[in-house]
């Protein structure tokens, strides 16, 4: 949800002040954040191994699939 809120904010800024420069900046920012997320996931997987793999299986990368602890 953290990065999704940033993506929403940047897209909102583009909608308020649409321009070619703004859409390029939004695209670059989203690409950089996505790359950061992938690196962070690889790092967490390396450190926490199976626990993180299980956690990743029940949560979404940007949009939560379900609440942790909810078994349904």
Write the pLDDT tens digit of every residue in 8-39: 998 999 999 999 999 999 999 989 999 999 99
- pTM, two decimals, is 0.72
Angstrom distances, CA of residue 17 to CA of 4, 10, 14, 47: 20, 11, 5, 42
> Whole-angstrom Cα distance, residue 50 to residue 44?
10
Predicted pLDDT of residue 49: 92
């Amino acid at each position: 949800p953290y990065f999704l809120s940033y993506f929403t904010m940047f897209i909102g800024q583009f909608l308020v002040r649409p321009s070619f420069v703004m859409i390029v900046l939004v695209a670059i920012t989203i690409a950089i954040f996505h790359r950061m997320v992938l690196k962070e996931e690889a790092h967490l997987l390396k450190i926490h191994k199976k626990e993180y793999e299980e956690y990743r299986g029940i949560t979404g990368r940007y949009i939560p699939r379900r609440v942790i602890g909810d078994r349904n």
